[in-house]
Amino acid sequence: MLQLNIQNETSKLKAVVLGTAKSNGPIPKVEDCYDPKSRQHVIAGTYPTEEDMVAEMEAVAEVFRKYDVQVFRPEVIKDYNQIFSRDIAFVIEDKLIKANILPDREREYEAIQHVVSQINPENVIELPEECHVEGGDVMPWNDYIFIGTYSGEDYSSYITARTNTDAVIALQELFPEKTVKSFELRKSNDDPKENALHLDCCFQPIGKDKAILHKNGFLVDREYEWLVNFFGKENIFEITKEEMYNMNSNVFSISENVIISEKNFTRLNTWLREKGFTVEEVPYAEIAKQEGLLRCSTLPLIRE
């Protein structure tokens, strides 16, 4: 049996599900894209190839092996995008919560059944149907659970609006002893530079007390300021609109000292090293074209 344990984003990683780019299927039609960035690349003819994406994910698997992390991969579904395992489920404490995601992604969850079946069934939670939530919006941080949401009346008109208020309430009920703090995110179906698809597209805690942040990703200044005060201005790396577009906040922590990052994130990686982090650089620019990066394609199961 797998004894799940996730208290935060940065404790030493023991086991993880890493998505797969194998048999990723044909280039999607413009009207079938889930996010503005993929659509941009389909139109430009720069949508990533399977070969490139498989190689990029293999580089990440290699880093996990180096740090003795147990890595699970989804069963490969023919012609199907299974890169972003964070979207389909997430772990808080000892519970795996199945994300109520876009219905046509249900098969992605079925493809990790060989992992889910190793978890005590009492700890596998499916939220009520009206709760929409994706793992990219959910960040356990010790006594807190940070959640990205969108509660505008026009929620249903945004395919980019992924986590709703019902889910925030449900998670608070599930973890009554934690403080659930939600943040309204800026959404756009058309402009990827004005769209925070998930909370981890504009914010991520790192180390023990630091964070990467992008102000424009937040709709409410007060909520952004709360995070600045919580971590302290000197502990925050503020990313630009361009850096957010390139997913600089979507790195992934293997421990409080080790971070996997994209090799082109020069400004961020320099800052991280100055702050004493070990940065494991990998090529991930092709996968980033689908508006997801390292955090999106990993589903941590056990941290120390």
* C-alpha 293, offset from chain centre: 7
| Percentage above 90 pLDDT, the chain | 72
Confidence of residue 154 (pLDDT cuts 50, 70, 90): confident
pLDDT at 160: 59
Question: Mind giving me the DSSP string for 199-251?
Answer: GGGTEEEETTTEEEE-GGGBS-HHHHHHHHHHH-GGGEEEPPHHHHHTTTT--
Could you tell me the domains of the chain? 13-303 (3.75.10.10)
Average pLDDT, the chain: 92
Q: Is the pLDDT of residue 33 over 80?
A: no
Cα-based distances in Å from 73 to 19, 33, 78, 204: 6, 24, 15, 24
Confidence of residue 150 (pLDDT cuts 50, 70, 90): confident
Q: Is the pLDDT of residue 26 over 90?
A: no
Query: What is the arithmetic mean of pLDDT over 137-160?
Result: 84
pLDDT at 36: 76
b/e burial code for range 48-82 (CB count within 10 A of at least 16 → b): beeeebbebbeebbebbeeeebeebbbeebeebbb
From 11-20, 78-87, 283-292, the region with the lowest mean pLDDT? 283-292
Give the global pTM: 0.93
Pick the residue with more confidence: 34 or 17? 17
Q: Is the pLDDT of residue 116 over 80?
A: yes
- Tallying the residues shown for the chain, one arrives at 304
Query: What is the arithmetic mean of pLDDT over 27-52?
Result: 84
Q: Distance (Å, rounded) from C-alpha 34 to C-alpha 226?
A: 30
Confidence of residue 159 (pLDDT cuts 50, 70, 90): low
pLDDT at 28: 81
Q: Is the pLDDT of residue 202 over 70?
A: yes
Q: Is the pLDDT of residue 139 over 80?
A: yes
Residue 180 one-letter amino acid:
V
Query: What is the arithmetic mean of pLDDT over 16-30?
Result: 91
- pLDDT tens digits, residue range 46-68? 888 999 999 999 999 999 999 99
